[in-house]
Homo-oligomer: A and B are copies of this chain.
Amino acid sequence: MSDGLTAIYEVVAHNNSILAIARDICLEQTVEVTEALCAEPAIADRVVGRVQSIRLLRKGLFEVHIYYPGVALGYELTQLISVLFGNISLKSGIRLVGIELMPQYARHFSGPVHGIEGIRKALSVYGRPLLMSAIKPLGRTAQELARYAHSMAMGGIDLIKDDHGITDQTISPFEERVERCCEAVASANARTGLRCAYYPCVTGPADMVLARTRFALAAGAGGVLIAPLVTGLDFVRVVARDTGLPVMAHPALAGAFFAKRHGIAQKVLLGDLMRLAGADMVIFPAWAGRFPFTKRHCVSIAQALRREFYGLHPSLPVVAGGITFGHLEELLRAMGRDTVLLVGSALYERSPDLVANAAWFREMVERYGA
């Protein structure tokens, strides 16, 4: 039992059904056969999940710890996800709320290549939260988007990303956009002496993600943005290992997992799993914005990304989703210094002068977040 992990589920059940449900999860997520077909010790003791504890949380709700052996998990992120929630996603009242890795199993994951320290070093920004904005909206040409990127970099924004829905549409083809934006940011950096980084969106066809990332690297991008639940989570690992570029994860589709009593907890999906996959930064909605996220969700994800976790580099939480300048002070107070603030629409709307708006954003963050 030194190899494998413990999954912690919250399970809706009656007192007289919880044991059967817990046992069912053990079978469903590993051997997928009836008890009779996995009774022999070579399988029952070595492969099948094992109920470690069952605890009543409140009437009708239990916390169940299940140990999955390393041999079942197989040391691949895809199989890890399948074991944690693959088949039981099709049942109901089961929510994955935590994972605890055994040391020997944890060794198979190398996590973020850069981590918080690496990202800060690349940007040469210390002692304050990081500033991010997005070039948008979809419908602008590559030239227009590059102009925005230039203005943001001139105003002192640290990180600029493509909007996650800007991929390779004809209106702003990937390669043209990446080249123009990299040039725009580099030319601004040459004037400011700063090290603003541009992260293009490489979410795309399974046979194009890596090619786009390599193109981004060659063009001088500082990292890439990807929506791991759209492309497949393992692409975070592949992209990071292949190119060495920092990877920022976008939460598109993640909300499907956030039902109250079924799914995967925010801190596990956007925290633990994204970090295991190797995301250096993870975007999620701030509680003050346009999504129904609570402060508790945000803090729990940030904690998962930054805590001691099997020696992996910590990742930077990126709060986003309709943040306005009026929210900054409250957000920074709750989220702490090792946080990225992603302000989109509000940055464009403050005045027609995007350079001035960016400088104003920076001033606000330096005031509240130092």
User: In chain A between 277 and 326, which residues have their CB closer than 8 angstroms to a CB of chain B?
Assistant: 285, 290-293, 321
Which of B165, B231, B232, B262 is within 8 Å of A72, CB to CB? B165
Please tell me if the beta carbons of A82 and B36 are within 8 angstroms of each other in the complex.
no
Residues in B with CB closer than 8 Å to A81 are 230, 252-253
A369, CB-defined interface residue at 8 Å: no
Please tell me if the beta carbons of B85 and A256 are within 8 angstroms of each other in the complex.
yes
User: In chain A between 228 and 268, which residues have their CB closer than 8 angstroms to a CB of chain B?
Assistant: 230-232, 234-235, 237-238, 242, 251-259, 262-264
Please tell me if the beta carbons of B30 and A138 are within 8 angstroms of each other in the complex.
yes
Please tell me if the beta carbons of B33 and A86 are within 8 angstroms of each other in the complex.
no
A205, CB-defined interface residue at 8 Å: yes
Closest to A92 in B: B292
In the bound complex, CA of A36 to CA of B345 (Å): 9
Residues in B with CB closer than 8 Å to A83 are 165
Given A24-B290, A31-B138, A230-B232, output 11 extra A-B contacts at Cβ < 8 Å. A31-B163, A37-B136, A37-B137, A38-B139, A47-B137, A72-B165, A78-B227, A82-B164, A91-B291, A206-B209, A206-B235
Q: Which residues of A contact B (CB under 8 A)?
A: 24, 29-34, 36-38, 42-43, 46-48, 71-72, 74, 76-79, 81-83, 85-92, 134, 136-140, 163-165, 167-171, 203-207, 209-210, 227, 230-232, 234-235, 237-238, 242, 251-259, 262-264, 285, 290-293, 321, 344-345, 348-349
Q: What are 19 contact pairs spanning A and B, CB under 8 A? A: A30-B138, A37-B345, A42-B139, A72-B169, A74-B170, A79-B204, A81-B252, A86-B230, A90-B255, A90-B285, A91-B291, A91-B292, A206-B235, A207-B242, A230-B232, A231-B232, A255-B262, A256-B259, A256-B264
What are the 10 A-B residue pairs with the smallest beta carbon separation, nearest first? A232-B232, A89-B255, A86-B252, A31-B137, A90-B255, A47-B139, A43-B139, A74-B169, A206-B234, A206-B238
